Amino acid sequence: MFSKYLTAIENVSVFPIIGLLVFFPIFVGIVFWVIKKDKPYMEKLANIPFQENDQVTINEENKNEK
Amino acid sequence: MNIEKFSYDNQIVRLFILATVIWGIVGMTVGVLIAFQIYLPWLNFDLQYTTFGRMRPLHTNAVIFAFVGNAIFAGVYYSLQRLTKARMFSDVLSKINFWGWQLIIVAVAITYTLGITTSKEYAEAEWPIDIMIALVWVAFGVNMIGTLMKRREKHMYVAIWFYIATFVTVAVLHIVNSFELPVSLFKSYSVFAGVQDALVEWWYGHNAVAFFLTTPYLGLMYYYLPKAANRPVYSYRLSILHFWSLIFLYIWAGPHHLLYSALPNWAQSLGTVFSIMLIAPSWGGMLNGLLTLRGAWDRVRDDAVLKFYVVAVTAYGMSTFEGPMLSLKNVNALAHFTDWIPAHVHIGTLGWNGLLTFGMLYWLVPKMWNTKLFSNKLATAHFWIATLGMVVWVVPMYWSGLTQSLMWKEFTPLGVLQYPNFLETVLQIVPMYIIRSIGGSLYLTGAIVMIYNLVKTAKQGSFTANEDTEAPAMEKAGGDNKKSHRWIEKRPIQFAIVSTVVILIGGLVEFIPTWLIKSNIPTIESVKPYTPLELEGRDLYIRESCNSCHSQLVRPFRSETERYGEYSKAGEFVYDHPFLWGSKRTGPDLHRIGGKYSNMWHYLHMQDPRQMSPGSLMPKYSWLIEQQLDTDIISTKINAMRSLGVPYEEGYENEALNDLQLQAQEIADDLLESGIIVEPDREIIALIAYLQRLGTDIKVKQAENE
Q: Of all helices (H) and strands (E), which one includes residue B466?
A: strand B466-472
Q: Do A7 and B191 touch (CB under 8 A)?
A: no
**pLDDT digit string (tens) for A19-47?**
667 667 777 887 888 787 778 888 888 89
| Residue B630: pLDDT over 50 | yes
**pLDDT digit string (tens) for B569-621?**
888 998 999 999 999 999 999 999 999 999 999 999 999 999 999 999 999 99
pLDDT at B153: 87
Mean pLDDT of B363-383: 96
Q: How far apart are CA B98 and CA B70, in angstroms?
A: 8
Question: From chain A, which residues contact B within 8 Å (Cβ)?
Answer: 1-3, 6-7, 12-13, 15-16, 19-20, 22-23, 26-27, 30-31, 34-35, 37, 42-54, 56
State the average pLDDT for chain B.
Answer: 90
Mean pLDDT of B327-334: 88
* Per-residue b or e along B579-609, where b marks 16 or more CB atoms closer than 10 Å to that residue's CB: bbbbbbbbbbbbbbbbebbebbebbbbbbbb
pLDDT at B479: 44
Cβ neighbours of B515 in A, within 8 Å = 2-3, 6
- Complex-level ipTM: 0.73
Length of chain B: 706
**pLDDT digit string (tens) for B138-189?**
999 999 999 998 889 888 899 999 999 999 889 988 988 888 899 999 999 9
pLDDT at B465: 92
Q: How far apart are CA A43 and CA A49, in angstroms?
A: 11
| Residue B509: pLDDT over 70 | no
Residue B645's region, left for phi above 0, alpha for psi from -120 to 50, else beta, is: left
Query: pTM for this structure?
Result: 0.91
| Residue B323: pLDDT over 60 | yes
The closest CB to that of B241, out of A7, A31, A52, belongs to: A31
Which among B238, B244, B499 is the top mutation candidate for probing chain A, defined by the most A β-carbons within 10 Å of its own β-carbon?
B244
Measured between CA atoms, how close is A10 to chain B, in angstroms? 12
pLDDT at A39: 83
Q: How far apart are CA B130 and CA B139, in angstroms?
A: 14
Q: Do B505 and A19 touch (CB under 8 A)?
A: yes
Which amino acid, A33? W
Q: What is the CB neighbour count within 10 angstroms for residue B654?
A: 10
pLDDT at B192: 87
The closest CB to that of B157, out of A20, A37, A48, belongs to: A48
pLDDT at B347: 96
pLDDT at B477: 47
Which amino acid, A50? F
Q: Do A56 and B470 touch (CB under 8 A)?
A: yes
Measured between CA atoms, how close is A18 to chain B, in angstroms? 10
pLDDT at B703: 61
Cβ neighbours of B506 in A, within 8 Å = 19
| Residue B62: pLDDT over 80 | yes
Helix ranges (DSSP H) in B410-531: 422-460, 482-489, 491-515, 517-520
The closest CB to that of A15, out of B223, B472, B512, belongs to: B512
Give, in order, the Cα–Cα distances in Å from B241 to each of B154, B185, B585, B679.
Answer: 21, 46, 38, 65
Q: Cα B647–B127–B111 angle (5° rounding)?
A: 115
